[in-house]
Amino acid sequence: MEKHIMRWSYWLGVVCVVLAVVIRILNALGLPTILLQTRGNSISFRSFVDAALLFLITSIATAGFVWFKRQNA
């Protein structure tokens, strides 16, 4: 189970990083960068940066847990 969490959180983090970079490039070129308009604030590149950090930290923490579990087994 831990391997699946580690794998999926890593790849979701990578996808969020790629989306954040693409949105920032579009913003630098002057193209509209609002992906989704919600009832409140729009979803911007910062949302994807935060999600990428969350997923990558989850992946690192899960990998550390698996490593620690193997060392004590």
Domain coordinates in residue numbering, the chain: 2-68
**pLDDT by residue (tens digit) across 9-66?**
888 888 888 888 888 888 778 877 665 666 776 677 788 888 888 888 888 888 888 8
Entry pTM: 0.67
Dihedral (Cα; 23, 24, 29, 32), 10-degree rounding: 40
